[in-house]
Amino acid sequence: MTIGILALQGDFSLHVKMLAKLNIKNILVKKSSDFDFINGLIIPGGESTVLSLLMNKFNLYKKIKKFSKNNCIYGSCAGAILLSEKCDDKNIKPLKLINIKSFRNFYGRQINSFTKKN
């Protein structure tokens, strides 16, 4: 089994390290033909609008949707946003693979998305 890690932008290197630590064969996915060599896909965290633009630029939307019919896909953070049915940000084109509506950070940068309870 080989797991592909979408490597267009974001934290893909952390997924590579973790899969290697678990002795799971993995490759970086950067183009459509890379899907011929994988059995599962991880869409990492990163900046969801940038990932969406790059997936569109490299024509990966249809490929990922087709791949999902017979294979598992895991999305963390921005990856989960991209897998959602709907997103509150019109700049993101969701894959519509999970029946959820995602909301991007309400308070700017991720670090500012947390509030302190008094």
Q: DSSP for 34-45? A: GGGG-SEEEE--
Q: Domain 2-113: which topology?
A: Rossmann fold (3.40.50)
- pTM across the whole model: 0.86
Name the band, by pLDDT with cuts 50, 70 and 90, for residue 91: confident
Q: How many residues does the chain have?
A: 118
The domain locations on the chain are 2-113
Task: Say if residue 113's pLDDT is above 90.
Answer: no
Query: What SS3 state is found at 111?
Result: helix
Token reading at 10:
């974001």
Task: Say if residue 45's pLDDT is above 80.
Answer: yes
Name the band, by pLDDT with cuts 50, 70 and 90, for residue 89: confident
Kindly report each contact of residues 23-30 with a partner whose C-beta sits within 8 Å and lies 24 or more positions away, as own/partner: 25/1, 26/2, 27/2, 27/3, 28/4, 29/4, 29/5, 30/58
